Structure 1
Amino acid sequence: MTKTVSFLESSFDQLVETIADQLKPDEHFTLSLNSEQSQFTRFNHAKVRQTGSVNDGSLSLTLMRDQRSSDHQFPFTGDLEIDRPRAKTALEALRKDVSQLPVNPYLVLPSGNATSQEIYTGQLLTIDEVVPTLLPVVADLDFTGLYAAGLMIRAYADSVGQKHWFATESFSLDYSLFTPDGQAVKGTFAGDRWDQSAYATKIQTSRQQLDRLSQPPKSISRGSYRTYLAPAAIAELVYMLSWGGVSESSFQQGGSCLGAMRRGEKKLSPKFTLRENFRHGLVPRFNELGEVAPLDLSIVEEGELVNMLISSQTAKEYKLVANGADQGETLRSPEIAPGELSSEQILATLGTGLYLSNLHYLNWSDRPTGRITGMTRYACFWVEEGEIVAPIENLRFDDSFYQFWGENLAALTNFQEFIPDVGTYENRNLGGTWVPGMIVNDFTYTL
C-alpha cells in the first residue's frame, strides 16, 4: 500500500502545480480527488456469483472568478502524461463556463493554510483468501452478500496552498441469510482488520435469528408497543437527521426538524447525546474548501441542542461562524453515546413488546414535528416476558424522535456497533455510524 499511496500522492501534487501554473491572477481553484483500488466479490446461495477488482479515480476541478464558479470532473489515472492534458482542457472549459454564469453573492473562496496527511493501513484478506475464509462458515446456509475491500483515497488542494491527503484500507460485508420460504436476516460486518473469530460470532448470531424466523409469523395490531431497536435500526433513524435536520441552512429556511429544540420549545431525553466524532479516523475531516472540522463536535448533549452544522456558505449568508461542515451540512461521522443496558439484559428489560433488527424505506411524515415513518424489516420479533415468541409480519411505524429520543426513551445499551455505509453506486462509500441499541416505550405502529 505504501508505494501505491506515495506514487498517487506525488502525481496529485504535480497535477496541482500544473493547474496553479496555468492560473490567472483573478482566479481561484479547488481540486478534489476520489480514488479507490477495491476488490468486490458477490455471493449467492453461498457460492461466488461474481468477483473482480476496480482501480478507479476521479478529479473534480472548481474554478472561481468574479463571484462565479463552475466545476468539471475528469478521470485520474496517476499517469501525468494523461492527466495533465485533461486538467488543462478542463481549466479552459471552465473559463468559458464561468464567464456565462450569474454572480453568486454567497460564494466562498478558499482561504487559510490548513494541511493534513492521514494514512491508515489495514490488515485485509488477500484476493485469494476471501472465498476460503468467508464461505466455510456459511456453507450450509442460503447466504447472499457483497464483500468489498481495499484502498480508498480522498484528497484536496487549492489555489491558496491548502492540501489534505486521506488514505485508508477497509472492508465491508453486507449479507443476508434466507429461510426456505424467503424470510431473511440481514447483517453487516466491517472494519480495517479482518477478525475471523468476530466474523464467526456475527454469523452465529444471524443463525440464531434465522432459526427463530422458521416459526409462523405473528400478526400485530396497530398501536403503541414497548420496542427494542437494534443498532442497525438506529443508524437508519440517525441518517434522517442529515435530511433537513442538523443543517443550519435548513433551520434558517424554516425546514429543520430540530427547529423546536433550537427555539427552546422542546428537549430530548438526558440519556441522548449525538455528536460528530472524527476520532475513529473513518472519514476525512476536511470538506470541499479544505476546512477541517473539529475532532469532536456535540450536536445534542444530554438532550440539549448545542450545535448545528454550519458551512462557510451558510455562515456568509446568515452572518454566522462556520464549524467545518460540508456544503450539504450533513453528518459525516455520527455517533450516539451508549447507555448502561448490557446485551444480556435486553430481552428481560424489554419484557413484552417488539424487537426490531432493521428498518427501511424511511421518510419524514411531518418534518417540523420530527415525525418519521418507515417499515420494519428483516428478523423482527414479538417478545413476551423476556422471551422471543415469534417473528412478526411487516409493520409501518410513524413516530416522532421527540418521543422515542425524548420522554419515551427507556434505555440505551452499554455497547455501540459500527454500522458501515455500504454504498457502492459510483464508488465505495466511506464511514458509517456508531450507535447503541435502545428500548423505547410506546413506539407507534400505524399498519
Structure 2
Amino acid sequence: MTTVELGALEQSFNTVVEQLRSGLNPGEHFTLTLTSEQSQFTRFNHARVRQTGTVCDGILRLKLMHDQRSSYQDFPFTGEVDIDRQEAQQVLYALRQEVAQLPENPYLILPSGRETSRELHSGKLLATERVPSTILPAVADLDFTGIYSAGLVIRGYADSMGQKHWFATDTYSLDYSLFTDQGQAVKGTIAGSEWDQSAYTAKIEQSREQLNRLTKAAKPMQRGQYRTYLAPAAVAELVAMLSWGGVSEASYRQGGSCFAALRRGEKKLSPKFHLKENFTQGLVPRFNELGEVAPAELPLIVAGELVTLLISSKTAKEYSLNANGATHDEGLRSPELAIGDLPSDRILAELDTGLYVSNLHYLNWSDRPTGRITGMTRYACFWVENGEVVAPIENLRFDDSLYQFWGENLVALTNVQEFIPDVGTYEHRNLGGVWVPGMIVDNLTYTL
C-alpha cells in the first residue's frame, strides 16, 4: 500500500461496504472493520539515527454471519477502489462456503442499530525531515536510545444493518531510554497530536536529573514493607492489569474477577479512588467491533465503590444484562484515574522516607481473587530519606493487593495527571493510553 489521501481511503472503504451490502443473500449479515495507518518510524541508538522509514498499511476484516454461524477473514486494504472491491467479493464468496460447514453458535451477536459517526482529528506533527534535527540536539551528549512513531491512524466499521463509523487521527509517540556508562537506564515517553518542543525539553531535563542520580552506588534493600511513591508510568502498569480479569463482567460471572469481593461488599477501596472510561479526549474510537458506541464517559469505580463493569453484547446475551459498549474482551480502552490533591513539588516531602518507583514491569496476578499483583521495579528507582533522594536501589519484586495500595494504604494522589501512551506496534500502531496521576502508598510489600 502506497501513501493514499485520506479522502480516497474513505471513498474506497465506502464503496466496498456498498458492494457487500448489495451482494448479500437472504438471511446473511456482515461486519467489516478497518485497521490502517500511514506512519513514520525513526529508531535512535547512541543519539544517532539508526533506521528510518515509513509504513503504509491497511487490513480489512470481513465477518459473515448466517443461520447462527459465522466466520471471518482478513485481507489487504489498498485504497484503490477496483482492487479493494474485487478482493472483498472474493472473500465474501470464500466465507459463504466456509460458514455453511461450521457449527451453530448460540451466543452469536448479529449487528443491529443505525448509528453512524465520523471523527477526524488533525494534528501538527513533525515533518519527516525535521525529526532528527528536532529530537537529537537535546540529547547529543547522552546515550539516547528510542523510537519515534508518527502519522495517520484510521479505524473504520460498517455492517449489513446500515451502521458506519470512520475514525482518523494524527498522533506521535517518542519512547526512549537514557543509559549510564554502567548500563543503568532512565525511561521516558512523550506523546500527543501536536509536537511540543518545550514539553520535550522539560521531559529530557527531568530524565537527566534521574540519570545523574543513578551514578551513585545502589542501595541494597531488604524485603519488607515500605512507604512508596509510584510515578504515573508505574501506576499505568497497575491500571493495565485491570483489563486482565478485572473490569470484565464475563470474568466476574465466571468467578475470575479481582473485583468480586468489592462487588459483594466484602472489601473496599479508598474513597480517593475514581476510575472511568473517558472517550472525550478523542484518542480512540468509541465504537467497538459490532459498531456499538460506548458512552463518552463511563464511571467504573467512584469513591472506592464499584458502579459497573464492562459488559459486551455477548456477555449481556449470555447473562440477560444490558451491554454498555464494551469490546468482546471487555478490556479498558480509554481509562482515566482521577487526580488527588498532592502538588507535584511536594511528592518527596510527603513521601518523607521510602521508595521512589519510576516504573514497573513483568506484572502478573499472584492471586487474582484477592487482587494480589506481583511485578518488578524498573529503571530509575530510588531510596528517599527525609524528603531527599539518597541513592538508587537494586531491583525489587513487589507483591501486594490492590485492596491495600488502592484501599486503606492509599495516602495521596498527585493533583496532575500524565498521559502514558500505548506505544505498541506489534501488528500496527496502537491507539490511546491511560491518564493517571502519581500516588503515595503506605506499606507496599516487597518480597525479594
**Normalization by structure 2: what TM-score?**
0.99
Where does residue 258 of structure 1 map in the other structure? 259
Determine helix, strand or coil for the equivalent of 1:443. Answer: strand
Where does residue 376 of structure 1 map in the other structure? 377
Distance 1:184 1:197 in 2: 23
Deviation of 1:262 after TM superposition, in Å, equals 1.1
Where does residue 279 of structure 2 map in the other structure? 278
Where does residue 427 of structure 2 map in the other structure? 426
Distance 1:83 1:8 in 2: 10
Distance 1:254 1:65 in 2: 32
Deviation of 1:80 after TM superposition, in Å, equals 1.6
**Cα-to-partner distance string for 1:111-159 (whole Å, 9 max, x where unaligned):** 0010000000000000011000000000000000000000000000000
Where does residue 184 of structure 2 map in the other structure? 183
Q: Which AA in structure 1 matches 2:99?
A: V
Determine helix, strand or coil for the equivalent of 1:128. Answer: helix
Q: Which AA in structure 1 matches 2:416?
A: F
* 1:203 counterpart = 2:214: no
Q: Which AA in structure 2 matches 1:257?
A: C
Where does residue 396 of structure 2 map in the other structure? 395
Determine helix, strand or coil for the equivalent of 1:309. Answer: coil
**Cα-to-partner distance string for 1:223-276 (whole Å, 9 max, x where unaligned):** 000000000000000000000010000000000000001111111000000000
Residue correspondence of structure 1 range 131-142 to structure 2 within 5 A: 131-142=132-143
Determine helix, strand or coil for the equivalent of 2:210. Answer: helix
- Contact 1:310–1:323 (CA under 8 A) maintained in structure 2: yes
Distance 1:250 1:65 in 2: 28
Deviation of 1:83 after TM superposition, in Å, equals 1.1
Determine helix, strand or coil for the equivalent of 2:136. Answer: helix
* 1:106 counterpart = 2:103: no
Distance 1:102 1:305 in 2: 38
Deviation of 1:25 after TM superposition, in Å, equals 1.2
Distance 2:366 2:99 in 1: 40
Q: Which AA in structure 2 matches 1:389?
A: V
Distance 2:100 2:447 in 1: 54
Determine helix, strand or coil for the equivalent of 1:140. Answer: coil
Distance 1:78 1:263 in 2: 51
Determine helix, strand or coil for the equivalent of 1:379. Answer: strand
**Which segments of structure 1 move beyond 3 Å, counting only runs of 4 or more?**
none
Determine helix, strand or coil for the equivalent of 1:177. Answer: strand
Q: Which AA in structure 2 matches 1:443?
A: L
Deviation of 1:92 after TM superposition, in Å, equals 1.1
Residue correspondence of structure 1 range 12-411 to structure 2 within 5 A: 12-411=13-412
Where does residue 6 of structure 1 map in the other structure? 7
- Sequence identity (%): 71
Deviation of 1:344 after TM superposition, in Å, equals 0.4
Aligned residues: 446
- Contact 1:59–1:73 (CA under 8 A) maintained in structure 2: yes
Q: Which AA in structure 2 matches 1:376?
A: T
Q: Which AA in structure 1 matches 2:280?
A: R
Deviation of 1:339 after TM superposition, in Å, equals 0.2
Deviation of 1:186 after TM superposition, in Å, equals 0.2
Distance 1:96 1:181 in 2: 61
Structure 2, gaps ≥5 residues long: none
Deviation of 1:376 after TM superposition, in Å, equals 0.2
**Cα-to-partner distance string for 1:151-210 (whole Å, 9 max, x where unaligned):** 000000000000000000000000000000000000001000001011000000000000
Q: Which AA in structure 2 matches 1:64?
A: M
- Contact 1:225–1:442 (CA under 8 A) maintained in structure 2: yes
Determine helix, strand or coil for the equivalent of 1:344. Answer: helix
Q: Which AA in structure 1 matches 2:76?
A: P
Deviation of 1:222 after TM superposition, in Å, equals 0.1
Determine helix, strand or coil for the equivalent of 1:193. Answer: coil
Distance 2:336 2:361 in 1: 20
More deviation, 99-108/56-65:
99-108
Distance 2:31 2:171 in 1: 27
Considering only aligned residues, what root-mean-square deviation do their CA atoms show, in Å? 0.9
**Cα-to-partner distance string for 1:299-351 (whole Å, 9 max, x where unaligned):** 10000000100000000000000000001000000000000001100000000
Distance 2:97 2:412 in 1: 58
Determine helix, strand or coil for the equivalent of 1:347. Answer: helix
- Contact 1:267–1:305 (CA under 8 A) maintained in structure 2: no
Distance 1:99 1:162 in 2: 25
Determine helix, strand or coil for the equivalent of 2:108. Answer: coil
- Contact 1:375–1:397 (CA under 8 A) maintained in structure 2: yes
